[in-house]
Every structure is written in structure tokens, then in C-alpha cells.
């Protein structure tokens, strides 16, 4: 009898945290969205749009906490310092934190599916190959032809070594046997003016950052790095039309620390899938050339695995080294 009582007591202790979480209202306090970048970028924009509507639906505020540094490492450390067991802290990031950072930062020892868990893919957004008029290039076909005819003569700018912008072009170089010299900058705030000023011949950029310069004929849009054409630029081809399977579009999703209750993960995932369908959210995203998605944790895990595979190959092509 004593053994049965002891076994029952032990079993009840094991399930006590789960039962406690299931019994209490969730969320029971403000939810934190930790963004591994400064305010103003794509992940920050997506996080703030979703946070507003998510908070309204769940009856608790959702606070965006910007923690730049270490290409995502600082954000991950901040997540661990929260209380993962109560399901009230998450990271909202693009995929580079998972695919690129581990390639260049020895401090990024976390593993997707083990230390950090997929919750929901929120949205995706394309980047574009753009040209300065001095190149004489008007189309992507001309870009390929001109660059091949003059190897190592042209330059391209990116928002930094190991950025999605950088690896997009490195993957393109390998796929089409192109030879361009890379000029890294500290963010798009530097790389875009460098292109407009003619300091580099080509660049990879988000459409909103170059739209004004396109309208004034200071730069030319050539191709998208997404698998299909962008509704905001339907006349501009996707690189995938020339290189089947090419997809380096930026994906933004929600991630949780290991130990986060499955019930919290499922609730956040379910609510985000509804939020991204709201007309006002769709309109806001479309204005920023962002495609709302929403997904289950399992579907997001597959997207992460695919991106990690592509980025690892591109990273090798770019000779990225862990430091």
C-alpha cells in the first residue's frame, strides 16, 4: 500500500506543472516578443504589427523587446533569462538567426528543435537584385550576360557579410557561374546609398528601401529572390524562373525556448494564423511588400530546415568562417 501511495504521489508531482498551466488562464500576464535587431527592420515591423492584434485577441499586451547583438545570440540569451516554462516570452526573427548565425558566430550553440522551438511562420518578404544605370543593364537577362562578358569587373553591395543579401548573390554566382566582387556594408542604410551613388554596380535590397530611387530612375529592379514574382512588382521575374528552386526570400517567424508548454505554443500559433488574415494586417503587410503566411509549428520547422540547407551551401560558397 505504501508503495502505491508513493508511486501515486510521485506521478502527481510529475504532472503538476502541466496541470497547473492547463488550469490557469493563458496568457496570465503580458507576452514578450524579443526581436534580435534594432527597431525599424523587417522582423521588428512584422513583430509590432502582429503584437498589436495578438494582444487584442488574447486580452494581454504583447510587448516588443529589441535586443540586437551577436546576430541573434543576445536575443537568445534574453529569452533564456525569461521564464520559458510559463510560455510568455518568444523570439520573433528572420531565418538568419538560425541558418547564418551558427555559421559565423561560435557563441551560437543553440539547435533548432532542441534548444529553440518553431512556433509559427508569420510572413515572408522578397529581396531584389538591383542595378545602377551606369551598368547599362535593364533586365535580369542582361545582367547575367553583361557580368559573364566582363568577369570580376563589376561589384555588388550587401548589408553585411553573412547577411541574406550577401548569400543571395553568392548563391546566384554559383548557380550561373558569375564573377562579381562583394562590397559589404553595415546594413541596408549604407548599402542602398552606395548603390544610388554609383559606388557599387549592383546590390540586393528590400523593395521599400529602393522604391523611391526606382521611381526617380536612379536604380533599376532586375529580379526577386523569392520562388515566385511579387504582387508589388509583377513585371519583375523571380530568379527561380532561371534557376529552378532558388529561394532566399526572408522569412519571419516566432520561436520559443525549450521547456515552453506545448499549450502556449499551440495557442500562439493558432492566434497568429488568424491575425495574419485580418484585412488591416494584410493591407499593412502588402504596403511593405510582406506576404502574410501563418503556419503550424510543424510547417515552420520544415521551412527552417529548408532555409538552413540553402544557407549552408551558400555560406560555403562565400567561404564564411565562424569567429
Q: What is the DSSP string of 181-223?
A: EEEE-SSHHHHHHHHHTTSSSEEEEEHHHHHHHHHTTSSEEEE
Can you give the residue ranges of every domain in the chain? 2-125+249-317, 127-241
Please check the confidence at residue 16 and state whether its pLDDT lies above 70.
no
Which stretches does DSSP call E strand in the chain?
31-35, 62-66, 89-94, 116-125, 127-131, 155-158, 181-184, 202-206, 220-224, 250-257, 291-292
Note the pLDDT of residue 39.
84
Please check the confidence at residue 11 and state whether its pLDDT lies above 60.
no
Note the pLDDT of residue 66.
93
Note the pLDDT of residue 244.
96
Q: What is the mean pLDDT of residues 56-63?
A: 95
Band of residue 5 on the pLDDT scale cut at 50, 70, 90: very low
CATH no. of 2-125+249-317: 3.40.190.150
Note the pLDDT of residue 124.
94
Distances 189 to 57, 93, 281 between C-alpha atoms, Å: 35, 19, 26
Please report, to the nearest 10 degrees, the dihedral formed by the alpha carbons of residues 234, 235, 240, 243 taken in order: 180
Residue 224 in 3-state DSSP? strand
Q: What is the mean pLDDT of the chain?
A: 90
Please check the confidence at residue 223 and state whether its pLDDT lies above 80.
yes
DSSP 227: S
Please check the confidence at residue 23 and state whether its pLDDT lies above 60.
no
Note the pLDDT of residue 58.
95
Greater pLDDT, 120 or 1: 120
pLDDT tens for each residue of 190-222: 999 999 999 999 999 999 889 999 999 999 999
For 231, counting Cβ atoms within 10 Å of its Cβ (0-12 exposed, 13-18 middle, 19+ buried), the class is exposed
pLDDT tens for each residue of 241-287: 999 999 999 999 999 999 999 999 999 999 999 999 999 999 999 99
Same fold, 2-125+249-317 and 127-241: yes
One CATH from 3.40.50.460, 3.90.245.10, 3.40.190.10, 3.40.50.1100 for 127-241: 3.40.190.10
Note the pLDDT of residue 3.
46
Phi first, then psi, for residue 296 (nearest 5°) are -80, 165
pLDDT tens for each residue of 283-300: 999 999 999 999 999 999
Report the alpha-carbon distance of residue 111 to residue 99 in Å, rounded: 10
Angle at 300 between CA 158 and CA 173, to 5 degrees: 30
Note the pLDDT of residue 226.
95
Cβ 150 vs Cβ 139: under 8 Å: no
Note the pLDDT of residue 240.
97
Report the alpha-carbon distance of residue 65 to residue 247 in Å, rounded: 29
Rounded to 10°, the helix 262-275/2-23 angle is: 20
Note the pLDDT of residue 1.
44
Amino acid at each position: 500500500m505504501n508503495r502505491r501511495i508513493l508511486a501515486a504521489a510521485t506521478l502527481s508531482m510529475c504532472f503538476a506543472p502541466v496541470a497547473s498551466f492547463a488550469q490557469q488562464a493563458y496568457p496570465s500576464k503580458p507576452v514578450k516578443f524579443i526581436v534580435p535587431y534594432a527597431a525599424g527592420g523587417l522582423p521588428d515591423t512584422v513583430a509590432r504589427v502582429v503584437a498589436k492584434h495578438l494582444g487584442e485577441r488574447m486580452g494581454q499586451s504583447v510587448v516588443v523587446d529589441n535586443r540586437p547583438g551577436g546576430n541573434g545570440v543576445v536575443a537568445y540569451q534574453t529569452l533564456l533569462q525569461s521564464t520559458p516554462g510559463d510560455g510568455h516570452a518568444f523570439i520573433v526573427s528572420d531565418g538568419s538567426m538560425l541558418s547564418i548565425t551558427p555559421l559565423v558566430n561560435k557563441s551560437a550553440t543553440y539547435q533548432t528543435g532542441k534548444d529553440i522551438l518553431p512556433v509559427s511562420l508569420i510572413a515572408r518578404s522578397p529581396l531584389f537584385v538591383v542595378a545602377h544605370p551606369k551598368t547599362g543593364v535593364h533586365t535580369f537577362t542582361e545582367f547575367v550576360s553583361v557580368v559573364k562578358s566582363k568577369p570580376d569587373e563589376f561589384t555588388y553591395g550587401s548589408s553585411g557579410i553573412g547577411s541574406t543579401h550577401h548569400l543571395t548573390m553568392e548563391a546566384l554566382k554559383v548557380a550561373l557561374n558569375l564573377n562579381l566582387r562583394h562590397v559589404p556594408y553595415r546594413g541596408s542604410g549604407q548599402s542602398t546609398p552606395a548603390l544610388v551613388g554609383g559606388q557599387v554596380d549592383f546590390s540586393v535590397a528590400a523593395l521599400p528601401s529602393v522604391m523611391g530611387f526606382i521611381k526617380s530612375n536612379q536604380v533599376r529592379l532586375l529580379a526577386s529572390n523569392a520562388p515566385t514574382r511579387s504582387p508589388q512588382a509583377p513585371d519583375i521575374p523571380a530568379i527561380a524562373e532561371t534557376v529552378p528552386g532558388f529561394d532566399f526570400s526572408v522569412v519571419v517567424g516566432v520561436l520559443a525556448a525549450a521547456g515552453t508548454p506545448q499549450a502556449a505554443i499551440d495557442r500562439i500559433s493558432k492566434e497568429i494564423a488568424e491575425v495574419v488574415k485580418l484585412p488591416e494586417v494584410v493591407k499593412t503587410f502588402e504596403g511593405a511588400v510582406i506576404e502574410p503566411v501563418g503556419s503550424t509549428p510543424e510547417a515552420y520547422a520544415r521551412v527552417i530546415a529548408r532555409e538552413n540547407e540553402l544557407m549552408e551551401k551558400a555560406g560555403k560558397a562565400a567561404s564564411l568562417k565562424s569567429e
